[in-house]
Structure 1
Amino acid sequence: MGLQRRHSGEDRKTNSPGAARSALRFNQGDHPFWWLCPVAILLAVFYVYPVLEVLRTSFTDATLLDTSYRYTLGSYRSILADPALLQILEATFVFVAGSVIGQTALGLLIALALQAGLKRHLFGVRVVRVTVLATWVVPSVASAIAWQLLLSEADFGLFNAMLRFTSLPPVPWLSEPWMAVQSATVANIWYGTALSVILLYAGLQTISPTLYEAAAVDGATTSQTFWHITLPGLRPTLLINIIIVSVLSLNTFEIVMPLTGGGPGRSTEVLALAAYNMVFHDFNLAQGSVLAVLMLLINLAVATTVWLLFRGSR
């Protein structure tokens, strides 16, 4: 009888609400997929499905003017055989490479200056920080329009007006092909540097101050401290920054479109703008999808290459 009562007590303990909650927590801990399932569904709906749909459309001859289509490799053949593709890729490479180098170098310089200024309690450091962040708050289209006004070769163009004031000849900022690419790159650097400043400044805060104190005791110079402490400590942040800036620059067209419209000619028609023009100007949905697939492959190649290079330099 006592044994039976003990069993009944154990059964009541096992069937109690607290035990059920403990078992539920245990089961959920064993299967974390249930916690990730909502995020996985969102990613599948808003990222995976559109990518698969673009990939499927690239193997068709679909247009925005006709609902019927057939599966074919003709869109890939047309794009790859187009002589303008080489010019588009060249403009894209100059734009992306210049943006990555410029934003990373300028962002690191500003981040180091902000850190040094805050350590020395210099006046105006907070103003500089707010000013840098303000460039990122401004919409990219508005930023491009402002740069178009600054670089305009008309009488109201600020830069050429300053050159004329100093008796120097005006510069064809937007009408000469090579200069137009450089101008668009500078505008993108100005707009995107704030992101690099945020990332690299945060990375600087992760470096232990004791490393700098030990370097000062050992008599290390500023350049030695930078090369042997700061840069190695910033390697993970630099990796993230370069990948993000590369992807954002490769996918942007809202800077180039208001600034140059892809001209003169097609000298500043970067890959993202070419895909936009192909779909919404030429109404060729299939060939625009081919350019989008090409952008995806380049994004993956750039991210993988940067990751492998930084991984091998450890």
Structure 2
Amino acid sequence: MSQTLPASASPTAVRHDRPERRRLADRPLIWVAPLALLLFATYIYPALDVIRYSFTDATLLNPDFEYTTESYGAVIGNPDLPEILWVTLVFVAASVVLQLALGLLVALALYRGKQRNLPGVSFVRVIILASWIVPGVAAGIVWQLMFNEASYGFFNGVLRAVGLSPVAWLSDPDMAIWSAVIANVWRGTAFSMILLYAGLLVIPRSLYEAASVDGATAFRQFRYITLPQLRPIMLINTILISIFTLNTFDLILPLTGGGPGRATEVLALYAYNTVFRNFDLSSGSVLAVVLLLISIAFTFFYVRLLPKEN
């Protein structure tokens, strides 16, 4: 039984409509162009501008500048740079390892709680996420009060209450960096938990059921099922938190200010201080370029570890 076209539509109009749709589908740049312009304006152009300023002698106090490579020589030849890079390495490595470990533990706990229909799982998840949305400056102020060595400091108050000696959390150079790591891990663990919890939810239950039938213990299931299944998302998580931690300065600024001495002055905070305290825009741009190159190196290294798709 043949269909009849509406009076307002003719076969000629239908024939013209389909090629028009095909022409739009064959030109994806029409749809990609707005997004490409947005990315260029918000990401690519600022990065190129920072690279341009790194080849100048510009300062915030003098609008005139000349193009030169002396800023690179001054930054690379700075005797404080090796110490700052070492502090950055310790801060990033310790933060990433602890965020991954604690994020996985919390995600596993929430996952098992959801499986057993325990009450309060959603509430605990919201409480943990609250630490992630707290601004870095606010988190730094809160932890500065908790680590404070005065009588109102929370941790030292607890130590005194149980008869232990107070700890120089922020004034001891060897302890201050670990205080900054603790504060950063508290702030960033929630992000790892989100990604890993989502990864746990998509692991097929049939894998665990088959392993249980074969007599595999919980540890062996975790080792041979959970970890391999989570490997891609763990690597992506590692990329993201490595870059986030490498660029962290807003939390350290109110917590220690980079002190005592340079014990907690990571590379991002050093770049901030160079631009907004020393007003040296060119050297700050060089440090920003160094941060960008390190982030790209991190990304390429982790991407090579991702499993290849067939």
Q: Taking structure 2 as the reference length, what is the TM-score of the superposition?
A: 0.94
User: What does residue 134 of structure 2 align with?
Assistant: 138
Report the Cα offset of residue 13 of structure 1: 4.1
User: What does residue 224 of structure 1 align with?
Assistant: 220
Could you list the structure 1 runs, at least 4 aligned residues long, displaced by more than 6 angstroms after superposition.
none
User: What does residue 195 of structure 2 align with?
Assistant: 199
Report the Cα offset of residue 261 of structure 1: 0.5
Report the Cα offset of residue 178 of structure 1: 2.0
Which whole-Å CA distance do the structure 2 matches of 1:207 and 1:162 have between them? 42
Report the Cα offset of residue 239 of structure 1: 1.3
Greater share of residues in helix: 1
Q: Deviations over 1:9-41 (max 9, x none)?
A: xxx844x2x333322221121121211110000
Over the aligned positions, Cα root-mean-square deviation in angstroms equals 1.4
Aligned amino acid, residue 197 of structure 2: Y
Which whole-Å CA distance do the structure 2 matches of 1:51 and 1:217 have between them? 55
- Aligned residue among 166, 172, 176 for 1:176: 172
The answer to whether structure 1 residue 236 and structure 2 residue 236 are counterparts is: no
| Partner SS for 2:220 | helix
The answer to whether structure 1 residue 252 and structure 2 residue 265 are counterparts is: no
Q: Deviations over 1:222-255 (max 9, x none)?
A: 1110111101111111111101101111111111
Which whole-Å CA distance do the structure 2 matches of 1:132 and 1:251 have between them? 22
Aligned amino acid, residue 198 of structure 1: I
What pairs with 1:144-163 in structure 2 (closer than 5 Å)? Answer: 144-163=140-159
User: What does residue 4 of structure 1 align with?
Assistant: none
- Aligned residue among 291, 295, 304 for 1:299: 295
Which whole-Å CA distance do the structure 1 matches of 2:107 and 2:100 have between them? 10
The answer to whether structure 1 residue 96 and structure 2 residue 92 are counterparts is: yes
User: What does residue 83 of structure 1 align with?
Assistant: 79
Which whole-Å CA distance do the structure 2 matches of 1:274 and 1:145 have between them? 19
| Structure 2: segments with no counterpart, 5+ residues | 1-9
| Structure 1: segments with no counterpart, 5+ residues | 1-11
Q: Deviations over 1:90-111 (max 9, x none)?
A: 1111111111111111011000
Which whole-Å CA distance do the structure 2 matches of 1:308 and 1:227 have between them? 22
What pairs with 1:270-289 in structure 2 (closer than 5 Å)? Answer: 270-289=266-285
For these two proteins, the number of residue pairs brought into alignment is 300
- Aligned residue among 31, 34, 42 for 2:30: 34
Q: How high is the sequence identity, in percent, across the aligned residues?
A: 53
